[in-house]
């Protein structure tokens, strides 16, 4: 199947990109294209206009410092995954990226594009959510920062306005007294996970994020709950459904098993970092 006809623009500046989006209400932004192009090909999406931001200057910067990791909109998954600085400052980003699709996809796909695509089965949206990160956007009304908690509205639906372009994503650095963990179960490595779990723990709190369970990446506070019981506690806030890949009951069991596993991993990671310090 081929995509429906569409107009194609490749602006050189953010102002030009925003103007194009504002002039055409049925337009979509494309960065790496690894999420959008399959939807176009299967005619699950049929925008009148594609605004390709790959030529916009300044969107290909990966910046890491003691405060955290800032990923520009045109930074590829592979470049983030290859960064030793990212692994050091926020290891959950690297742990989750190793599960994203296959090397060919990671070489073209962008981390920010994956986040604003708002696929609840993708890894990076839930990582942003469990870490309390944010996305910076530019639109006709200027610049703003959208917290992860306010970004995901529904299945493949974000809170970006139609004329806004995401310019970067921000992942806070891992504090000295914190630890993280990540795991997912897929039929084959690189396939979408049947269930995925990310955890962040510190001296006072424990948060667990879930992908491929609800229609949006969902974070549950399990502070004070024993890891063995945390999955059952989390299910009170989740609605695992069934499909051709897994039944609802199997997904619920994966939530129980992976939550315990990932929380223990996060606590062990925290202890190992404190010991090293």
- Domain-embedded: residue 142: yes
pLDDT band at 204 (very low <50, low <70, confident <90, very high): very high
Tell me the average pLDDT across 103-121. Answer: 96
Residues 114 and 150 in one domain: yes
- Residue 252 in tokens: 């619920």
pLDDT band at 26 (very low <50, low <70, confident <90, very high): very high
For the segment 130-175, what is each residue's pLDDT rounded down to a tens digit? 999 999 999 999 999 999 999 999 999 999 999 999 999 999 999 9
- Domain-embedded: residue 134: yes
Query: What is the C-alpha to C-alpha distance for residues 137 and 16, in angstroms, rounded to an integer?
Result: 14
Does the structure show a pLDDT above 90 at 2?
A: no
**What is the domain extent for residue 13?**
7-52
pLDDT band at 36 (very low <50, low <70, confident <90, very high): confident
List the one residue out of 225, 243, 247, 246 whose CA is nearest residue 234. Answer: 225
Residues 201 and 131 in one domain: no
- Domain-embedded: residue 57: no
Q: In terms of pTM, does the model score above 0.85?
A: yes
pLDDT band at 95 (very low <50, low <70, confident <90, very high): very high
- Residue 256 in tokens: 């129980």
Does the structure show a pLDDT above 80 at 276?
A: no
Query: What is the C-alpha to C-alpha distance for residues 23 and 28, in angstroms, rounded to an integer?
Result: 12
Report the SS3 class of residue 33: coil
Residues 46 and 79 in one domain: no
Residue 19 belongs to domain with CATH number:
3.30.43.10
Consecutive H or E run containing 147: strand 142-147
Residues 12 and 94 in one domain: no
């Amino acid at each position: 199947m081929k995509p429906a006809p569409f107009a194609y623009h490749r602006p050189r500046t953010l102002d030009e990109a925003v103007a194009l989006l504002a002039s055409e209400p049925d337009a979509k932004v494309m960065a790496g294209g690894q999420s959008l192009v399959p939807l176009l090909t299967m005619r699950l999406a049929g925008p009148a206009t594609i605004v390709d931001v790959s030529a916009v200057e300044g969107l290909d910067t990966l910046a890491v410092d003691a405060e955290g990791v800032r990923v520009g909109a045109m930074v590829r998954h592979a470049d983030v995954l290859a960064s030793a600085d990212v692994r050091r400052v926020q290891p959950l980003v690297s742990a989750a990226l190793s599960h994203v699709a296959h090397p060919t996809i990671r070489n073209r796909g962008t981390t920010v594009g994956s986040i604003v695509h708002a696929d609840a089965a993708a890894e990076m949206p839930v990582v942003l959510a469990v870490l309390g990160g944010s996305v910076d956007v530019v639109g006709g009304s200027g610049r703003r920062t959208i917290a992860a908690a306010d970004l995901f509205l529904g299945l493949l639906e974000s809170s970006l306005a139609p004329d806004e372009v995401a310019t970067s994503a921000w992942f806070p650095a891992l504090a000295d007294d914190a630890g993280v963990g990540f795991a997912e179960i897929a039929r084959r490595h690189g396939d979408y996970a049947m269930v995925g779990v990310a955890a962040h723990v510190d001296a006072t709190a424990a948060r667990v994020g879930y992908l491929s369970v609800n229609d949006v990446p969902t974070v549950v506070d399990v502070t004070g709950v024993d890891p063995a019981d945390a999955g059952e506690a989390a299910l009170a806030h989740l609605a695992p459904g069934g499909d051709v890949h897994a039944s609802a009951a199997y997904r619920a069991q994966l939530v129980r098993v992976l939550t315990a596993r990932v929380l223990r991993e996060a606590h062990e990671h925290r202890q190992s970092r404190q010991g090293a310090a």
